[in-house]
């Protein structure tokens, strides 16, 4: 680890010359020493892993970010976790938020050429941060013997709605994080040729956006996509412009007036973002309800839609997973009590339109259940939401990626650890349900008091991720064989169980065939 020490000693004069409370606080602290007696700016989060906070880019409001180069002092700035990017409901935020939190096993040193994982947090592109305890990367780094970096990026209107029409600022942020990671990790024992990008929910959508960005392709080798609502697709430029116009109308500024834009308060911008989020589907149904603010297929940065009609040839290995009850938190929050089939029909018609709803209702794949004489459409709505937004659309993507040349591994979690946001939803905390986000603490090994099943799955997934990060293949001696998908079959496995995942409605001739995805209906 001499290289790491040299790297930090080189950078310290740059840090200490800066006038900021963070730097002043750092200068007043005693150095942290790990078992190698290496003085550094990190923080020992467990006896065998050190955490660093890296400022990877600078950005003016609504301008593309610029990476902080090594020569300029890509910053191992502080022991404290960084402020989150501005988002509603949080006061501990700052527009100066382009940081990575990097976890490095102490065993990794010069010449090791360890793999790295860049994790992109979820939160519908409007919330989340690298400081979430659930994505503390220390346990994952130790188990996989890899460098785990958790990245923050601009959110909501600040990340996707520049008044002058600039799009995909947040995508550019993550690309700059990858550039800094590529440049910096060889100095601390990592290999720039073994970088995997990964994310969950909107973080997984960001991963998919990077797969569709040729300028980012050389920055990572493989990708992990967890619970990506692929049904939505990327926004088209036309839909983005409609949303942009509505967003701009929330302010009195001329879109080209940078001075006026700079004078706007963060709270006003967040309010405009929230208003856009709530109104987006009425502006254009293609925006959808779950991620209306999201990456745009602009033809410049993101050059491919990655839908069934448009796929590049690829050699990148990907791992795609969903959870068995993806829509559980949404449906059972929306409907805390049983609902009738009549209500279900109204929901389906509102969600899918009459034609698609009629096909679904006539298929007998989502039959409304009756229990104790009480009709309850929630289980069928939950199954349909899971299939429509997550499982079947992910399986369609996986088959197409495989047919385009990329090794593809597909899985479905049937064991999870209840995510804090799901703790107040009875459905998600009972009867073995695994709701959206309940896979996160399994992967990161941050589940509180895991039971035997959870512990076994944590060990399995971390072993599989270790193999995938090193080789692009998640197969490990002693664990069940995980076969790659083909153009006709995902060969999906149960994660937390044994054998293949049930196909159910996720056949090529139903979802994406008889019943179109949103991206097909709206031509995205």
pLDDT in tens, 173-192: 999 999 999 998 998 899 99
Residue 323 · residue 413 · CB < 8 Å = yes
Most confident of 10-14, 79-83, 106-110, 233-237: 233-237
Return the number of other C-beta atoms located less than 10 Å from residue 289's C-beta. 17
- For the chain, the average pLDDT equals 89
Look at residue 32 in the predicted model and tell me its pLDDT.
32
Nearest-10 crossing angle of helices 266-283, 237-248: 130
Residue 148 · residue 169 · CB < 8 Å = no
Return the number of other C-beta atoms located less than 10 Å from residue 449's C-beta. 7
Look at residue 41 in the predicted model and tell me its pLDDT.
60
Query: pLDDT category, 35, cuts 50, 70, 90?
Result: very low
Cα torsion 134, 137, 139, 144 to 10°: value is: 130
Look at residue 188 in the predicted model and tell me its pLDDT.
86
Query: pLDDT category, 70, cuts 50, 70, 90?
Result: low
* pLDDT (mean) for 288-310: 91
Residue 487 · residue 403 · CB < 8 Å = yes
Residue 26 · residue 58 · CB < 8 Å = no
Tell me which of 103-117, 382-396, 444-458 is least confident. Answer: 103-117
Domains and CATH numbers, the chain: 2-232 (3.40.50.1820), 317-521 (3.40.50.1820)
pTM, two decimals, is: 0.91
pLDDT higher than 60, residue 315 = yes
CA distances from 53 to 136, 253, 312 (A): 12, 36, 36
**Cα–Cα distance for residue pair 173/193, rounded to 1 Å:** 20
**Cα–Cα distance for residue pair 163/298, rounded to 1 Å:** 16
pLDDT digits (tens, 9 = 90+) for 383-429: 999 999 999 999 999 999 999 999 999 999 999 999 999 999 999 99
Please, which residues have CB within 8 angstroms of residue 515's CB and are 6 or more apart in sequence?
352, 356, 359, 360, 363, 388
Per-residue three-class SS string for 134-178:
HHCCHHHHHHHCCEEEEECCCCHHHHHCCCCCCCCHHHHHHHHHH
Please, which residues have CB within 8 angstroms of residue 364's CB and are 6 or more apart in sequence?
none
* pLDDT (mean) for 308-332: 92
**Cα–Cα distance for residue pair 361/368, rounded to 1 Å:** 10
85 or 2: which leads in pLDDT: 85
pLDDT digits (tens, 9 = 90+) for 42-62: 777 788 999 989 899 999 999
pLDDT higher than 90, residue 488 = yes
Q: Is the dihedral of CA 333, 502, 460, 106 positive or negative?
A: negative
* pLDDT (mean) for 223-250: 96
Look at residue 79 in the predicted model and tell me its pLDDT.
60
Look at residue 425 in the predicted model and tell me its pLDDT.
96
Return the number of other C-beta atoms located less than 10 Å from residue 278's C-beta. 11
pLDDT higher than 50, residue 302 = yes
Cα torsion 162, 167, 170, 175 to 10°: value is: -140
162 or 33: which leads in pLDDT: 162
Residue 82 · residue 72 · CB < 8 Å = no
Q: Are strands 99-105 and 32-33 parallel, antiparallel or unpaired?
A: unpaired
Q: Are strands 75-78 and 147-151 parallel, antiparallel or unpaired?
A: unpaired
**Cα–Cα distance for residue pair 18/193, rounded to 1 Å:** 33
Return the number of other C-beta atoms located less than 10 Å from residue 162's C-beta. 21
> Which has the closest alpha carbon to 395: 501, 519, 255, 270?
501
Q: Which residues pair with 408 in a beta bridge?
A: 318
> Which has the closest alpha carbon to 135: 154, 116, 122, 153?
122
Strand runs labelled E in 6-146 = 32-33, 39-40, 43-46, 49-55, 57-58, 66-67, 75-78, 99-105, 114-120
Helix (H) or strand (E) run with residue 376 in it = strand 374-376
pLDDT higher than 50, residue 489 = yes
pLDDT higher than 80, residue 25 = no
pLDDT higher than 60, residue 282 = yes
Residue with tokens 């002058």: 164
* pLDDT (mean) for 326-353: 93
**Cα–Cα distance for residue pair 474/128, rounded to 1 Å:** 28
Helix (H) or strand (E) run with residue 244 in it = helix 237-248
* pLDDT (mean) for 96-122: 94
Return the number of other C-beta atoms located less than 10 Å from residue 25's C-beta. 12
Look at residue 371 in the predicted model and tell me its pLDDT.
77
Ordered DSSP codes for 326-368: TTHHHHHHH-SS---HHHHHHHHHHHHHHHHHHHHHTTTSSPP
* Whole-number CA gyration radius for the chain: 23
pLDDT higher than 50, residue 2 = no
Residue 106 · residue 49 · CB < 8 Å = yes
Please, which residues have CB within 8 angstroms of residue 436's CB and are 6 or more apart in sequence?
201, 227, 323, 325, 326, 327, 328, 329, 330, 390, 422
Degrees, nearest 5: CA angle 128-131-137 = 110
Look up residue 382 and give its two tokens. 């939950």
Nearest-10 crossing angle of helices 21-28, 2-17: 130
pLDDT higher than 70, residue 471 = yes
Look up residue 46 and give its two tokens. 């467990």
Q: Are strands 317-323 and 222-226 parallel, antiparallel or unpaired?
A: parallel
pLDDT higher than 90, residue 297 = yes
Look at residue 78 in the predicted model and tell me its pLDDT.
52
> Which has the closest alpha carbon to 202: 173, 230, 241, 174?
230
Look at residue 454 in the predicted model and tell me its pLDDT.
97
Most confident of 35-49, 79-93, 180-194, 428-442: 428-442
Q: Which residues pair with 39 in a beta bridge?
A: 33
């Amino acid at each position: 680890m001499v290289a790491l020490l040299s790297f930090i000693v080189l950078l310290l004069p740059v840090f200490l010359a800066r006038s900021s409370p963070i730097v002043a606080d750092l200068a007043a602290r005693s150095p942290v020493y790990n078992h190698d007696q290496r003085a550094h700016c990190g923080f020992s989060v467990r006896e065998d892993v050190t955490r660093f906070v890296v400022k990877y880019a600078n950005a003016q409001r609504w301008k593309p970010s610029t990476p902080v180069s090594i020569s300029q002092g890509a910053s191992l700035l502080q022991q404290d976790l960084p402020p989150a990017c501005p988002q509603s409901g949080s006061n501990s935020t700052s527009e100066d938020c382009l940081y990575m939190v990097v976890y490095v096993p102490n065993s990794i040193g010069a010449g090791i050429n360890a793999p790295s994982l860049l994790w992109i947090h979820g939160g519908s592109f409007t919330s989340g941060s690298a400081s979430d305890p659930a994505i503390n990367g220390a346990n994952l780094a130790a188990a996989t013997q890899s460098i785990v970096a958790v990245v923050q990026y601009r959110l909501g209107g600040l990340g996707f709605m520049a008044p002058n029409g600039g799009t995909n600022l947040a995508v550019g942020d993550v690309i700059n994080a990858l550039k800094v990671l590529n440049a910096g990790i060889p100095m601390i024992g990592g290999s720039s040729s073994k970088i995997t990008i990964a994310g969950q929910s909107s973080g997984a959508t960001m991963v998919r956006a990077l797969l569709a960005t040729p300028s980012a392709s050389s920055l990572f080798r493989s990708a992990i996509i967890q619970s990506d609502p692929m049904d939505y697709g990327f926004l088209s430029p036309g839909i983005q412009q409609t949303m942009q116009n509505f967003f701009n109308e929330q302010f009195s500024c001329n879109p080209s007036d940078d001075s006026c834009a700079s004078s706007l308060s963060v709270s006003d911008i967040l309010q405009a973002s929230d208003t856009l989020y709530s109104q987006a589907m009425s502006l254009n149904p293609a925006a959808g309800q779950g991620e209306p603010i999201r990456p745009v297929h602009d033809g410049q940065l993101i050059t491919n839609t990655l839908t069934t009609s448009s796929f590049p040839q690829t050699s990148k290995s990907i791992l795609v997973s969903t959870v068995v009850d993806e829509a559980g938190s949404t449906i059972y929050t929306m409907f805390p009590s049983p609902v009738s089939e009549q209500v279900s029909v109204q929901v389906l018609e509102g969600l899918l339109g009459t034609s698609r709803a009629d096909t679904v209702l006539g298929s007998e794949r989502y039959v409304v259940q009756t229990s104790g004489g009480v009709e309850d459409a929630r289980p069928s709505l939950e199954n349909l939401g899971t299939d429509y937004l997550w499982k079947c659309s992910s399986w369609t993507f996986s088959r197409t990626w495989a047919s385009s040349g990329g090794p593809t591994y597909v899985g479905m979690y049937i064991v999870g650890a209840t995510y804090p946001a799901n703790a107040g939803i009875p459905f998600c905390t009972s009867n073995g349900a695994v709701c959206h986000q309940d896979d996160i603490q399994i992967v990161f090994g941050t589940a509180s008091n895991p039971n035997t099943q959870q512990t076994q799955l944590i060990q399995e997934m971390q072993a599989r991720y270790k193999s995938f990060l090193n080789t692009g293949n998640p197969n490990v001696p002693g664990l069940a064989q995980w076969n790659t998908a083909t153009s006709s079959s995902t060969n999906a496995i149960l994660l937390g169980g044994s054998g293949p995942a049930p196909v159910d409605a996720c056949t090529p001739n139903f979802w994406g065939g008889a019943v179109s995805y949103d991206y097909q209906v709206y031509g995205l």
